[in-house]
Amino acid sequence: MARPFVYKVINEGMQGHHELLVIGIDHMYGIKHDEKWVVTATIDTTNERTPRKYNRPFLATRKVVEKKAAELNRRYHTDKYRVVEI
């Protein structure tokens, strides 16, 4: 949880030796390409047994998502990746 100050605790309790928090927020930001939500995946091409690793860039802070969208636009020479409030 990179930005704990923006979340509100909904419920809390103990799970074994760990405190379990259910947290929520009123807004989230994501990246869209045309009308599709963006999820990035990486594959280790040097190891066939390594599964894909997915990254869902739905975040609570707009600035971080804007940086990720700008990075995708720069990498793929386009301007179709945009930030949308969910």
How confident is the model over 14-65, as pLDDT tens digits? 888 888 888 888 888 999 999 999 988 888 778 777 777 877 778 888 998 9
Confidence band of 2 (pLDDT split at 50, 70, 90): low
Kindly write down the DSSP assignment for every residue of 29-61, as one continuous string. Answer: EEEEETTEEP-EEE--TT-TTSPPEEE---BS-
Whether residue 44 is contained in a domain is answered as: yes
Kindly state whether residue 71 falls inside one of the protein's structural domains.
yes
Task: Give the pair of three-digit tokens for residue 58.
Answer: 């739905």
Q: Report the predicted TM-score, pTM, of the whole model to 2 decimal places.
A: 0.71
**pLDDT given for residue 3 in this prediction:** 58
Residue 13, in any domain of the structure: no
Q: Tell me whether residue 18 is in a domain.
A: no
Q: Which domain holds residue 37?
A: 26-85
Number of domains in the chain: 1
